[in-house]
Amino acid sequence: MHENMKEQNEIQQLVSFKIGNEEFGVDILKVQEINRMLEITKVPNTPPFVDGVINLRGKVIPVIDLRIKLNMERINHNNSTRIVVVEINETTTGFIVDEVNEVLRIPTNIMEPPPGIVAGVERDYIKAVCKLDDRLLILLDLEKVLSFEEKSLLEQVAE
């Protein structure tokens, strides 16, 4: 019984951000930093979702427009646009999001397995959904957002 009690009280910290009207979250342990828009250098022959690369303190990092990757329309960047820099399988990658909201502490026992499709986002990309007071938070599985081929492509882009 004690083991069960522990599971109910586990808290996961997430960085929440918006893309369009949807709110997403990613595990804070994967997030290295959050930046305002930086100058992005285009890279030829990359998929449409790869915006290019940024130079972050001397390190070249590929940047992905998460809107495009999640099959949403591209929009112009504004003062709220952020680049969320994450570590995925030892590759540092930047994801462009519309705005970063906050760090949330979510009890794991309110996380539910995702239904077939949420907000037009494929189930494969979603770890869980969390019903908060007045909103739905979609917990993204960043490892799955990029396929194996795409990860190796990004490693080449950053070299």
pLDDT tens column, 88-129: 878 899 999 999 999 999 999 999 988 776 666 777 888 999
- Degrees to nearest 5, angle at CA 140 with 106 and 4: 40
Structural fold of domain 9-158? OB fold (Dihydrolipoamide Acetyltransferase, E2P) (2.40.50)
Coil, helix or strand for 149?
Answer: helix
Distance between CA atoms of residues 33 and 44, nearest Å: 26
Joined tokens for residue 86 = 């994450």
Residue spans of the domains in the chain: they are: 9-158
Joined tokens for residue 156 = 């080449």
- pLDDT of 15 > 80? The answer is yes
